[in-house]
Amino acid sequence: MTIPDIRPFQPQYLKAPRNFQAITDQSVCLEIGAGKGKHACLFASQHANQHLIAIERTAEKFQFMFRQHQELALHNLQPVHADAIPWVVHALYPEQVQQCFILYPNPEPHNPAQRWLNMPFFEYLLSRLKAGGQITLASNIREYIDEAEQQLLHVWHLPYQKQKIVKESARTHFEIKYLQRGELCQQLLITKPQGYQTRFDHTLPQAGTVMP
């Protein structure tokens, strides 16, 4: 196992989100920062055999997504109103996630340490991803993508593909707005290879609980 050159994540200090409800250990897809749920609803409608958990922290955006979910009767979509980090720690099992979407996250211009691939939590997230599973990270900020590439190469040692997002794409409200402005939108398709190991591969959902 190659230990990433980053301070270790400490899940044992995170409390469960308010009104937390555990899930089963079935395979799932995950969207972090789902916003108003445009991509979540689209994905769920196009992949009826996959269960998508869409997490959004902001109450107003979550309520919009929840209403869309109910109107469309998408039984394979589970909207969750929570902060993603403690929710993932308390809810997800090792190698449970098939795909994870992080689409146009807050670039944290004044706090780069809070960008997803700069955080120790990213190692924990990788432990929840199945071997062969994929994380899609999209942004309209070139520097954000460039920095994430460097982290993948030098910290996480993960294979990825870098793609330019076509102007016809309309996965999120942000994506539509950025592409209409003529901005460059890019994504990294990050794959977890077979045999990739983290320090949390045997950590069960519930912070600090470890399989024998």
Is 82 in a helix, a strand, or coil? coil
Does some domain include residue 114?
Answer: yes
Does some domain include residue 182?
Answer: yes
User: Model confidence over 136-188: pLDDT tens digits?
Assistant: 999 999 999 999 999 999 999 999 999 999 999 999 999 999 999 999 999 99
Question: Phi/psi zone of residue 131: left (φ > 0), alpha (ψ -120 to 50 degrees), beta?
Answer: beta
Angstrom distance (rounded) from CA 93 to CA 88: 9
Does some domain include residue 5?
Answer: no
Does some domain include residue 137?
Answer: yes
User: Model confidence over 55-84: pLDDT tens digits?
Assistant: 999 999 999 999 999 999 999 999 999 999
CATH number of the domain to which 117 belongs: 3.40.50.150
Does some domain include residue 135?
Answer: yes
Range of the domain at 116: 27-191
Does some domain include residue 203?
Answer: no
Q: What's the pLDDT score for residue 211?
A: 43
Is 190 in a helix, a strand, or coil? strand
Total domains, the chain: 1
Does some domain include residue 22?
Answer: no
Strand arrangement, sheet containing 52-56: 77-81, 52-56, 28-32, 97-103, 129-139, 186-191, 160-164
Q: What's the pLDDT score for residue 6?
A: 84
Reference 82, options 120, 55, 53; nearest CA is: 55
Q: What's the pLDDT score for residue 19?
A: 84
Does some domain include residue 65?
Answer: yes
